Structure 1
Amino acid sequence: MVQGDRGGHRPRPAVRSHRGIYLANRAITPDPQCAIGALTVQGSTAFAPIANNVANDYENDCTGASITISAVGSGPGLDDLRRNPDPGVIAMTDGVESGATPGLNVRPVGLVIFAVVANKNLKLSDLTTAQLRDLFRAAPSSANGSFVVVGRDSGSGTRRTFEQTVLGTRNSDFPASSTCPTAPQSTPVACTVNTNMDLLTYIDRTPNAIGYAEADALTYFPNVRTLSIDGKPATRSATLNGSYHFVATEYLYTAGRPRGLTAEYLAFLTSDPMTARLRDHSYVACSELSGTALAGQCT
């Protein structure tokens, strides 16, 4: 059920005066079409903070909507929607998940920019692809130091993106799941965590830890810094000119054609004003890729 009239959408205010100012403000201020109901957006722990920001803005304007963000990982989020095709659920994945998705509608919405991250105690600023390949394996090389090398559990879209775009493999021997040590280590160790926030939390408190993550949350982790890869920084500009490759197209899945709150949330997320607002995040909307080196990423 949807609030308002005009086919179920909230009526827009009339323009009486200062029309130019009003239209200019409308162009930069997200203005959702309000729907009543409950929606769950589940999956990618990397895209979850962005999805949550959009949900908060939507709920602030639309008091009849309740949107829950469930950061369970790309694979588990989509697997749950496959088993239970609920029209009130959106599954978000970093890249296209393997396996059939009968009855599901999928759309790309943008690129998530990831980064290699390390504890500031390591005093690192850049690593080469060759160094990262030596580190992110079942038995990390000691040539670069006694690092705790932290990856994500198998099933993570972020892990798959890192292995494919940075390590250049689909068959890494990095542990599928391995508990990270709580005491200092004198030799390199490979371990995994479940979520983006778990990884940043661990690296923040572990002086010799290195890993990879979606880096928007770094302001909450004062001991973590991003590293460039082969001299290329994890920035929007380096992504858009094609020189930085640790990125993934974010796909959103729904059970059939989205309707009601599901459709309105997706429309709000991909609107021009919201796209402009999200430029402060490690994210580039599909609508911004035209004419860039990444124009084919959202096809």
Structure 2
Amino acid sequence: MKRKGLKLIISALTITMTLGILAGCGNKQENKEESKKKAISGSITTLGSSALQPLVEQGAKQFMQKNPDATINVQGGGSGAGINQVVSGSVEIGNSDVTAESKLKDKNQVSSLVDHKVCAIGFGMIVNKEVKVNSLTKEQIQKIFTGEITNWKEVGGQDEKINVINRSKSSGTRATFKDTVMNGKDEKEGLGTTQDSSGSVVKAIGQTKGSISYVAFSHLNDEVKALKINNVEPTKENIIAKKYDFWSYEHMYTKGEPEGLTKAFIDYMISDEAKPLIERLKYIPASDIK
């Protein structure tokens, strides 16, 4: 009887263990299926600020490497275009150097958007490398862009005509320039030439003698010369120390709270994982601005 009872107990334990193993395998399979369901996939478009574009492009590249079923289409076009197109529903994310309030007159449109501050960015005055000037005061810059100063010799440079290269009126970079450097003054209408993107500004400055303009730090390179403003270097450190005020926050706007792929991508862009990329491309983590 004792042996029979022992055999029954062993058999019961064996059946229980087998059922447990089978249940565990079933749970693992269910978890795998659940993970597949939660895998990030789909396609979205993010459009707007050309100043923010290099960061968004590289961020999208890294994000898609981690999530091969996701597609992030990145386009420029300027801050105004970014805000207007996200309002209309043409794109999922609108990128801007300035707030939606400064671009939209309709308060209902403004309230329909959700602002995601990704980082901050500095801007610098740039000139053709042959210009013999290293620093300008804000007053001198204002007089150049309003047409009062037209020759570099008037600000300590060579006897050469100043060629102004501006951004289009929809540009967030131009709006930031007007607010922080021009102190709200309008540039002279029709003065110089206009470029639609930061990249085309840099190219034009490199090819045009006596030229001057402004771009984001992320677009500064050896083809142009960056100027000091009021004898202060255009650097991240001077922005953080509040010595240099030609900068702005970079915004990624969505129409309502983001969901799915849009939310996942924005969460990635503002995460600690993206911070090294932000710094490498000469942007400033928002957390560094006190």
Q: What is the TM-score when the length of structure 1 is the normalising length? A: 0.77
Runs of 4+ that moved beyond 3 A:
3-10, 138-142
Work out whether residues 124 and 214 of structure 2, in 8 Å CA contact, stay in contact via their aligned partners in 1: yes
Secondary structure, aligned partner of 1:115 = strand
Q: Report what 2:95 is aligned to.
A: 92
How far apart in 2 are the matches of 1:55 and 1:120?
Answer: 33
Matched, 1:83 2:88: yes
Deviations 1:50-77 (A, max 9, x none): 1111011111221111111110000111
Matched residue pairs, number?
247
- Name the structure 1 match of 2:165: 150
**Distance in 1, Cα, partners of 2:196 & 2:208:** 17
Distance 1:257 1:218, change over 3 A: same
Q: Matches of 1:4 and 1:259 in 2, distance apart?
A: 21
1:85-140 Cα distance to aligned partner (Å, 9 max, x none): x5x61001112132232422112222111110111111332111111011112554
Q: Is the CA contact (8 Å cut-off) linking 1:137 and 1:190 kept in structure 2?
A: no
Residues 41 and 69, structure 2, Cα contact 8 Å, conserved in 1: yes
CA–CA distance in structure 2, aligned partners of residues 167 and 4 of structure 1 = 58
RMSD of Structure 2 on Structure 1 (CA) = 2.1
Task: Assess if the C-alpha contact under 8 Å between 2:198 and 2:219 holds in 1.
Answer: no
Aligned ranges 1:118-129 → 2 under 5 Å: 118-129=127-138
Question: What's the % identity of the aligned pairs?
Answer: 24
CA contact (8 A) 1:112 1:250 kept: yes
Residue matched to 1:174: 188
Residue 192 of structure 2 is matched in structure 1 by 190
Give, in whole Å, the separation in 2 of the partners of 1:8 and 1:253.
Answer: 27
Per the alignment, residue 125 of structure 2 pairs with 116
2:256 partner letter: G
* Cα pair 2:121 2:217 within 8 Å, conserved: no
User: Separation in 1 of the partners of 2:149 and 2:74?
Assistant: 35
Task: Assess if the C-alpha contact under 8 Å between 1:140 and 1:190 holds in 2.
Answer: no
- Rounded to whole Å, the distance in 1 between the matches of 2:212 and 2:253 is 32
Corresponding letter in the other structure for 2:245: H
Q: Which has the larger displacement, 256-265 or 96-105? A: 96-105
Structure 1 or 2: more helix by fraction: 2
**8 Å contact from structure 2 (residues 120, 249) kept in 1:** yes
The residue correspondences of 1:46-61 to structure 2 (distance < 5 A) are 46-61=51-66
Structure 1 residues 1-20: aligned runs within 5 Å:
5=34, 9=38
What per-residue deviation string (whole Å, max 9, x for no partner) do you get for residues 169-195 of structure 1? 1x40433xx5xxxxxxxxxx5222111
1:265-290 deviation digits (Å, cap 9, x = unpaired): 1111111121133212231122223x
Unaligned regions of 5+ residues in structure 1, if any?
11-34, 179-188, 290-294
Distance 1:282 1:127, change over 3 A: same
Equivalents in 1 of 2:164, 2:150: separation in Å?
10
Q: TM-score, normalised by structure 2?
A: 0.79
Counterparts in 2 of 1:215-294, with a 5 A limit? 215-219=217-221, 222-289=222-289
CA shift, 1:4, in A, is 7.3
Instruction: Please tell me whether the aligned partners of residues 215 and 226 of structure 1 are also in contact (alpha carbons under 8 angstroms).
Output: no
Query: What is the aligned partner in structure 2 of residue 159 from structure 1?
Result: 174
Distance 2:136 2:112 in 1: 43
Cα distance in 1 for partners of 2:68, 2:132 equals 47
Whole-Å Cα distance in 2 between the matches of residues 102 and 218 of structure 1? 35
The corresponding residue for 2:68 is 63
